[in-house]
Amino acid sequence: MNEYERLIKEFGAKEIDSSSSLDFKHFKNGILYAHRDFDLFLKDLKEGKKVAIASGANPSGPLHLGHVPVFETNLYFQKKYGLHVFIPISDDESYVARKIKTQEEGLKNSIELARDILAFGFDPKKTHFIIDQLNPEIYNFAFKLCRTITLSMVKATYGYTDETNVGLAFYPSVQAAHVLLPLLKEYGGHERTLVPIGIDEDPHLRLARDVAAKNRLTKPSVLLAKFMPGLDGEKMSASKPETAILLRDNPEVARKKIMKAFTGGRETVEEQRKKGGNPDVCVVYKYLKVLFDTDVREKCVKGEIICGECKNMLADKVEKFLNDFQNKLSKITEEDVKACLIKKNLSLS
């Protein structure tokens, strides 16, 4: 049983039936594969109730293409349904978990991450960042919630021990506050939030849903995204920069990384022309399909297109994507981010 199946079989997530869901590419291509209470969210959405997206981001590393599907999901709901998107950025978590040395570094990383997110195309009028150090009022809400989280719970959920520091032990309360904040009257009074996340974040959401119930707040709905593979076919990680295309990579650097990517090709071009390639194991195939909605399966299995051509096609698309992104990023300032920080008595349109 792999980790995707485990969330369904052992941890109560429900499979998404792509045929009966929304007309959105990441439902169809299987990246969004499981959910918690998404049906309830969809019902509220369709009945015109006030709902919002809450989707956290962690500033411990730079954004890469693996983050794109979740961001595109958030963006889809913002563009198609006009939803407000709340983006909590866990600056203090990366500090308490000792991923960084100082709080100042966490704050700086968070502002850069927020610039990236705005450059990704989010509407500043409908996007609200929560950065702990700039929005310390989040801690008051975390304190409101924390009485319902015991040390046992965080030990069981995260494997913490008595040698864990008290900040890390407390942080799940902040994370619950992050995703539940849009429910509060002074932050919009939404009836329900939807949290699209990678599956590695599911433990936070299981705990946040439990905290919500214990505090008589509506449990957040969750959409669970599969991981994009790294260029080497293994798990993508910003800590292996050669296997991940960073959104701030020079397009030429990105092209070189793509040229070394793991594919489903044969030993020789001749053999591939004759027998066809294997798209099911091919990273380039997956990137083209998931990120650029381009399906070369038929041509690949028939041997009508070979790996070099696919790599060039992907590199061209990535180049355009990165140029567009980086061009927008260059115009986004720290002040733009600060204008999007969440404020009390938020008036939403």
The span from the CA of 195 to the CA of 54, in Å, is 5
| Closest to 224 in 3D by CA, of 78, 40, 30, 87 | 30
Contact status: 166 vs a copy of itself (CB under 8 A): yes
Contact status: 140 vs a copy of itself (CB under 8 A): yes
Stretch that binds a copy of itself, among 16-24, 130-138, 188-196, 337-345 (CB under 8 A): 130-138
Contact status: 170 vs a copy of itself (CB under 8 A): yes
Binds a copy of itself by CB under 8 A, chosen from 71, 76, 95, 129: 95
Tokens representing 249 are 């990579």
Place of tokens 């981001």: 57
Binds a copy of itself by CB under 8 A, chosen from 4, 24, 160, 292: 160
192-198 and 51-54 beta bridge pairing: parallel
Nearer to a copy of itself, 82 or 167 (CB): 167
Tokens representing 142 are 């975390």
Binds a copy of itself by CB under 8 A, chosen from 6, 43, 49, 147: 147
Binds a copy of itself by CB under 8 A, chosen from 2, 19, 161, 345: 161
Type of residue at 222: V
Place of tokens 């299987």: 30
Contact status: 146 vs a copy of itself (CB under 8 A): yes
Contact status: 344 vs a copy of itself (CB under 8 A): no
In whole angstroms, the minimum distance from the beta carbon of 69 to a copy of itself comes to 31
Stretch that binds a copy of itself, among 22-30, 168-176, 258-266, 336-344 (CB under 8 A): 168-176
The DSSP element (H or E) to which 274 belongs, if any, is helix 269-275
Nearer to a copy of itself, 120 or 129 (CB): 129
The span from the CA of 95 to the CA of 103, in Å, is 6
Tokens representing 192 are 């329900």
The span from the CA of 162 to the CA of 173, in Å, is 18
Q: What residues line the site for a copy of itself (CB under 8 A)?
A: 92, 95-96, 98, 103, 132-133, 136-140, 143-144, 146-152, 154-155, 160-167, 169-170, 172-173
